[in-house]
Amino acid sequence: MSRSLLSRAKDAALQKAVRAFLKPKVERYGELKEFDLDTSAKRASAELLLHGESTPLVVTEALYRLERDCSQWYVVVYGIKVSKPWVQHLLDDHFPEFKFKVPELVKRLIS
């Protein structure tokens, strides 16, 4: 079943808003080259060119879920799969999840 035009437009707006949110957060470490969001599977992927690295860090999969605590929404990112083994080990061993407050602009798109 194909998604409606409204659903696709909302997903595109959400992807653009999340990319705008992530870009300044990543600048200290490198450049966000690519970012894709699949809202039906609740999955994201990205490509980052980190300072001092000759090859990009590719995030092939990052699952997410939305959580609500009172009036505040959070996105919890988990199940992250990356291209560099040492980063993958670091994530697996110490950072199984990341929890972020959802920005107001994004909140309006998900609620």
Provide DSSP, 33-82: EEEEEETTTTEEEEEEEETT-SS-EEEEEEEEEEEEETTEEEEEEEEEEE
Region 60-84 average pLDDT:
93
- In the predicted model, is pLDDT for residue 53 greater than 80? yes
Higher-confidence residue of 22 and 30: namely 30
Taking only the tens place, the pLDDT of each residue in 34-45 is 998 888 889 999
Query: 51 pLDDT band (50/70/90 cuts)?
Result: very high
Regarding pTM above 0.85, the answer is no
Extents of the domains making up the chain: 5-110
Average pLDDT of the chain is 89
